[in-house]
Every structure is written in C-alpha cells, then in structure tokens.
Structure 1
Amino acid sequence: MSDLLITGVTWHDADGTPRTGDVAVREGTVTEVGRVEDTEGLTRHDADGLTLLPGFVDLHTHLRQPGREDAETVVSGSRAAAVGGYTAVLAMANTTPVTDTAEAAEHVQRLGRDCGLVDVVPVGAVTKGLEGAELAELGLMHRSRARVTVFSDDGRCVADPRVMRRALEYLRPFDGVVSQHSQDPSLAGPQACCHEGELSGRLGLPGWPPVAEASIIARDAMLARHTGGRVHVAHVSTAEGLDVVRWAKERGIRMTAEVAPHHLALGTDLLTGYDPVYKVNPPLRPTEDQEALCEGLADGTIDAVATDHAPHARHDKEHAFVDAAFGMLGLETAFSVVHDLLVTTGRMSMADLARVLSTAPAGIARLADHGRPVAPGEPANLVLVDPTAAVTVDRDASHSLSRNTPWHGRTLTGAVHTTILRGAVTAREGEPAPC
C-alpha cells in the first residue's frame, strides 16, 4: 500500500455529476477530493485526461483452479483481472473438485488472498457436484470464512423446479442469490452449439432456441415471487429472455440480470467460418438480439456487465466447431469493448459504465467495499481509464494462460490505465504488479 495523489483527474459524484481535480488516498482510503492541501508523503500520479471510476467487479469469472491449471490459475486470472481494471471477481464453482463445500470455498478465497492483486470471491455450487439433485452446503459456505453469498451451477441449469425452489427458500434468510444458467436442457439439447435459425440450418449446426432461455427465466421469476428469494440471470442473450426480465422487474420480483460483452458486440455472422473461438454458451445471437441487449443495458433492465471469462487450453478449443469447448476470454477487454460500443457512440455515459461494471455488480454480490463512489472516507478500490486511447487486442499479450479471445486484431477505443486495490497499484498500463 502507498499513499497516492492522483492529479488532474475526472471523476463522478454519486449523482453522476463529473468533476475534475485531485484525489488523495491514504492508508487504503480516499481522504480528499477536489483541491488537496496537504500533499506530504503522497506519491504523485499525473492523471490529466484520465477518468477515475470505482474498481470493476466481475460477477462471472472462471479461474479453472483447482483442476484445470493448464487453462488458468487464480494467479494468472488475477493478473488478467487487474490489467482489465477489476478489483473483485467472483470465481465460478465449476472447478474440479466443485466448490460445493465450505472447505473448497475457503481454498479458492485463500488462493486469491495469497496473490493479492484482486479480491477473489468464491461462488458456491447450488447442488452437490453440479448434478442438480441435492443442495450443496449453502449455509455452511455462507457461514465460513469465505462468506459465500452468490451460488451457481453455471454451465448447468438448475433445471428441477423443486430444487430451485428449495435453494431460493434456503438462501433467503441470509440474502443469498442464485445465479442461474438460464437454459432448459430439454429444449436446448445436448449437442446445441449455435443459435437456432436459418444460419444454423445452413451450417448444419445443432440449434439453440431462444425459448430455452426465456422459459427458465420465466419459471425462476415465478419461483422468486413465490419464495421471496433472489434470482440473478447469468449472461442473458436473447430479446425474449430480456422481455421476461423486464416483466419480472415491473412486478417487483427480486430478479437481476447480467450481459456479457460478447453478446452485446458479436453476432451469428461470425460463425460462417466455423471458428471455434466464437463457440460460447449461450451462443452468439442475431443482430436484433444484440440491439435489444444494448438497449436493455442502457435503460437499466440489465443490471450489470459480466465477462463470463472462460479460458481454455488449445487442445480443448482447437476442434471441429461441434466438439470444441464453449467459452471466450473477457477480463482484459471488457471495459474497452463496452466503452467502444456504447460510450463512444453516446448510448451510455461514463457514469453509466461505472454503474454496470462496478456499482451494480458489487451490490448484487453484497460486496460492501467495492463499487463505492469516489468520495472521502470510501475504500480506495479504483480504476483509472483513458477514454481516448486506441487499443488493438493481441491474444499473445494476454496475461491469461489461454488465448481464446474473440477480439484478437480488433482496435477498440478506451483503455484501462491503472488499477488500485485498497490504495495499492495492482496494474499499470497493461502490466500487473508482482503477485
């Protein structure tokens, strides 16, 4: 930790009003904003032209450890996260062994704490072994040192409505939330790998109908209303699914939703070359779905952007499209993608971006020290971004152990400059601090 003086920076008050001046950080806390009189002992960081935001929070990260350290580790994922502007990431439970016990959750948390570049927050499995039949140790995981609040069988839908109901009832007393992989497996089918439509028929790829997503979101909305529990829709990808989320929110149902950058910016046209880098679960969707998702994010129906960072080793990804693993990298590029797509085009402001990348996800995960405004007395979990910088994505420069990025060779406007966790610089200009 060092005491910092960030000079000439732009930030936003809690009401979204932009301000420019200096920001002082002492002992991990923002102490002054605007005009800083006492600068003794502060390390100066010139931030002219940069914007200071609360550090990003990712609700949906696959760190692969334990079990698949050839694709990612907590250390490599933490480096990628810090470079991407993240101060907290939620590590999904589909590891080997599954994070379905208090001991497993504490192990993941300890790996993150030992690295120290980002707060690694374990997500607990909803069911034992992700098998969808018997509830995992939900209460024990929450009462453990890991304090698990978000639970998910991500990669697998909690398809049995009785199991989902029991999970919501069990989690309600401590305000836990189920992050649901909203996909009815009986509608999607075991081989589905492409949006169902004219293109899937032409390419000969098994189709994935939008109703498989919308029907589960609708069912879970009704279960949330019945139980009073909280449901979070992971990676909503269709206009139909978004309509159900909007319907639920209008009725006061405790439902939140996230969208992945790739579902906002990439479409089914990319599949014509059968490149497995574009195989993702749920699949890329047509232009009309992308447009609906952008609108839903801008108007607040979708609460958060989450990366669904899914690293894969080459031997898992380099197959025929049907046989390749699902997933894309996302931590290092999420800010640039969303900024380029929505802020530079005027559809969202930088304050809106802070809401969907930081404030809302921190609130959903109940992370009290993240997503806080830039104001005296607040934790110094922050990110400096350059809204005018042009970034050309190079997969070989990634700090992830994997290389399955869909953004390789693309030039985006907006770059993360410096990430700060509790007053300590964890990444600067594309390089993470030592772990």
Structure 2
Amino acid sequence: MKRVIMNGRILENGQLVDRDILIDDGVVKKIAPTIGSNGVDNVIDAHHHFVSSGLVDVHVHYRQPGQEQKETIKTGSLAAAHGGFTTVGAMPNVIPAPDSPKRLESLIQLNQSDGAVHIKQYATITTHRGGDELVDFPALKKAGAFAFSNDGNGIQKSSTMYEAMQQAAQLDMAIVEHVQDDDLTYDGVLNSGAANRLGLKEMPWVSETAQAARDIILAEATGVHYHVCHVSSKHTVNIIRAAKKAGINVTAEVTPHHLLLSDEDITEDNPNYKMNPPLRGEDDRQALIAGLLDGTIDMIATDHAPHTKEDKTGSIATASFGITGSETAFNMLYTKFVKTGIFTLDQLINWMSRRPAAVFKMAHAGSLAVGEPADIAIFDLDKPHTIVESEYRSKGKNTPFTGETVYGETVMSLVDGNVVYQNN
C-alpha cells in the first residue's frame, strides 16, 4: 500500500518544517515539502501536527506470561502505541522468566503475534531471574535476546556480576541493571523526606549508588557495555559522569517520573507515588535534569510498570512498587520541559527516540528517513488535553498523572506504515 502523510511538520536541524512523507510497503520512500496524492492508496492529513520518528522505550514490563491480570503483551503494546512509542524493550520479570533459549523463543513469538509495536525481548542474567547461576549467554543471544537484565532485582553477589559481564562482553551484548544493594534498602519504601513525613520506612539513596559504583568498576575491568536503569540519585549521576570521563562503557536512563516529581510531591499516603527506586529529593531531580543536559544520562525510559487496582490499594507501606508510563511520558515531558523552555523539542526526541536506538544498536529504529521503516508518531503540540483514565489502553491505571492537562497528545502511531493507534 502507498500512503502519504500530508501537511505535517517534522524536525530538520532542530527546527520544525512543513513536509509530506510518502510511504510504500511500510518504508519511507520520500520526504518533501509537497508530494501530492496521485497514485496513492491512502492520505493521512496531519493537520500541521508534529510528525516524528516513533519513540523508543528500552524499559517496559508486560507481565505476560504469569501475571496477565496486570498487563498483557497486547494491552501493553497498545499503551505504547497510544504514547507514540513504536519500539520497546520488554523486561524479563515474567513467569516463567526467559532464562533458556526455549522460553525466550516462545516469548519472542508471543511478542510478535500479540504486539502492536516492535518488542525487543530481554533475557535474564541468572536462571529464574534470581540467585547466582548464570544463564547460557551464547545460546540466548542466538535465540534472539536483546540484552541481559534481572530487572526488578539487583545482582547481589559481585562475582556473579563480574562473570556475567565477562561473558556478555565476549558476545558484544549489554548488561542492563536494576542497581540495588538489598542489604542497604532496609525494607524501605520512600526517600527520607517523604518517609519521615508519613512515618514510613526509608530506602536510602546509598542502596542504589553503592551497587552502581561496584558495577562500574566491574564494567571497567571487563569492557562490557553496562547500562544503568532508572537513575534516581544525584550521587549516582556523579559516579556515572566520572565513569564516562574515564572512558568506561557505561550508559544510563532516567524515567519521566523521576524527572517530573520529587519526594516533596508526596503529601499523603498514596500508593500511586510508590516506585522503585523511590522519588528522591528536589536536589536529586535537578541533578537528573542536569545529567540529561550534559550527556551523563543518555536517554529517557518509562519503566512502565502496570498493576491491578488491588495491588495499589491501601498504604504505600504494603502496595506494589511501580507506576505506568507509556501513555503519559511524551505529553507530560513536552508540557513540563519543552513548553517551559528547559528542553528543546529536538532534545526530547533525541532522548526518547534517536539516542536509545543508537545506544542499543537498533539499526532501523529512532529515525525518520528515506529508506527506513515507517515507524512514525504524530503529536498535537498545540491543543491542551486532559489525561483521563478511560483513555488508557494499559490494564494498569496506576499513575499520579491522571487529571493533568497536557500538550503533545498522540494523534496517530504507525508501525511499518500501518496505523496501530489513532485518537478519536
């Protein structure tokens, strides 16, 4: 099928310019000021909205198999498309975990059959995503692993991480780590400020930073590409900055919620503010912003973590960790950072599309260019829109951003030239 997106605005050299886009057989064939509709099967009028490369999120949780009451591959990927994402990396904390070639291949097939967007699948670092028995790294790479992670849990034993990094380095594969020293969390749930106000247990920042420091030293020793998930502390930012200056192959991500919120925003015992790592202080939030701007932090990733209503009912002390993010990430960040002049639109698209694709060597993602797959998102940057729960495609409604009025609503998402999301 030939289709043309007309009357769109795309980014060129950091500026929005009027362009039409011709798509043929799922591939971008031409980008020009005017293309016309002769010989075209379908015309999409973008109404002068922003037309972007599809967003790329390297950190989502789809819960299937094993916890389909929270999310499925279908609902999670539809939520991604609703948010303008066309490529995602699915974490391996499902039941059973993809810790063998057979399990990984089965999950990849399910991703392909049920997914509305491109889904890259992580394999685990250890069997059953716990303990210290390493997986068969070469076999899992051959089976299609995107990268290796035990996300949801940090690797507690140093020798286990060291040996995992050695094997991953030999295969030119990334180790993607939830940095958390369990001995230093003290079963905490919040940063010190909010914990003290609400009378709940504190999870100290050192639980994150201490393990990040250990892993960075091991990454230097092995040469592996080491990626730090959801950085939350200014101390971790400082360590990553020093590591990059030293030439260590480390990259990092930050979540929208850690950029948008601090523990000062937690004024009541509301489980929708419970995530791991927890929201830190305002000085930490500012350090995360500075880290993005100076290149210490490479990208934004949602850590989309859907839960049932029951999981997030009651007290922060007992509720599950995690909030959703796929459907609110772009519009919240555009509204709070681009509209206010803190980020440029080009920077935001770099952190949410081009940079994650480049860091993880995704050859055909994060680019709106002739010859590339037509993975495209169209956003309305001009009209205010209120986020309402009824519009979520995700099964998870657990986010504090419901009710926010935002700009940057997703109008349409296309994957390989096919419309996978269109607003009403």
> Could you tell me the TM-score, scaled by structure 2's length?
0.96
- The answer to whether residue 190 in structure 2 is matched with residue 194 in structure 1 is yes
- Indicate the residue corresponding to 1:207 in structure 2: 202
- Aligned to 1:273, the other structure's residue is in SS state coil
- The answer to whether residue 400 in structure 2 is matched with residue 409 in structure 1 is no
**Match 1:295 to one of 290, 295, 298:** 290
- The answer to whether residue 415 in structure 2 is matched with residue 421 in structure 1 is yes
- The answer to whether residue 76 in structure 2 is matched with residue 80 in structure 1 is no
Structure 1 residue runs of 5 or longer lacking an equivalent are: 431-435
**Cα distance in 2 between the residues matched to 1:353 and 1:202:** 34
For 1:330-353, what per-residue CA distance to the aligned partner results, in whole angstroms no more than 9, with x for missing partners?
A: 111111111112211112222211
**Match 1:325 to one of 320, 323, 331:** 320
- Aligned to 2:81, the other structure's residue is in SS state helix
On the 8 A contact 1:149/1:175 being kept in 2, the answer is no
On the 8 A contact 2:229/2:254 being kept in 1, the answer is yes
**Cα distance in 1 between the residues matched to 2:159 and 2:383:** 50
Is the deviation greater in 90-99 or in 15-24?
Answer: 15-24
For 1:188-225, what per-residue CA distance to the aligned partner results, in whole angstroms no more than 9, with x for missing partners?
A: 12x210012x4422322111111221221221111111
- Indicate the residue corresponding to 1:236 in structure 2: 231
**Percent identity over paired residues:** 35
- Indicate the residue corresponding to 2:340 in structure 1: 345
- The answer to whether residue 147 in structure 2 is matched with residue 153 in structure 1 is no
**Cα distance in 1 between the residues matched to 2:146 and 2:172:** 7
- Indicate the residue corresponding to 1:433 in structure 2: none
- Aligned to 1:170, the other structure's residue is in SS state helix
- Aligned to 2:266, the other structure's residue is in SS state helix
Where does 1:261-340 land on structure 2 (aligned, <5 Å)? 261-340=256-335
- The answer to whether residue 109 in structure 2 is matched with residue 110 in structure 1 is yes
- The answer to whether residue 172 in structure 2 is matched with residue 168 in structure 1 is no
TM-superposed CA distance for 1:48, in Å, is: 3.1
For 1:42-81, what per-residue CA distance to the aligned partner results, in whole angstroms no more than 9, with x for missing partners?
A: 4111123211211111111000000001110111111111
**Cα distance in 2 between the residues matched to 1:406 and 1:137:** 40
TM-superposed CA distance for 1:363, in Å, is: 2.2
TM-superposed CA distance for 1:160, in Å, is: 1.3
Where does 1:112-127 land on structure 2 (aligned, <5 Å)? 112-127=111-126
CA RMSD of aligned residues (A): 1.6
TM-superposed CA distance for 1:115, in Å, is: 2.5
On the 8 A contact 1:3/1:423 being kept in 2, the answer is no
Equivalent residue letter for 2:82: V
Where does 1:87-102 land on structure 2 (aligned, <5 Å)? 87-102=86-101
On the 8 A contact 1:157/1:181 being kept in 2, the answer is yes
Structure 2 residue runs of 5 or longer lacking an equivalent are: none
> Could you tell me the TM-score, scaled by structure 1's length?
0.94
- Aligned to 1:57, the other structure's residue is in SS state strand
TM-superposed CA distance for 1:364, in Å, is: 2.8
TM-superposed CA distance for 1:38, in Å, is: 7.0
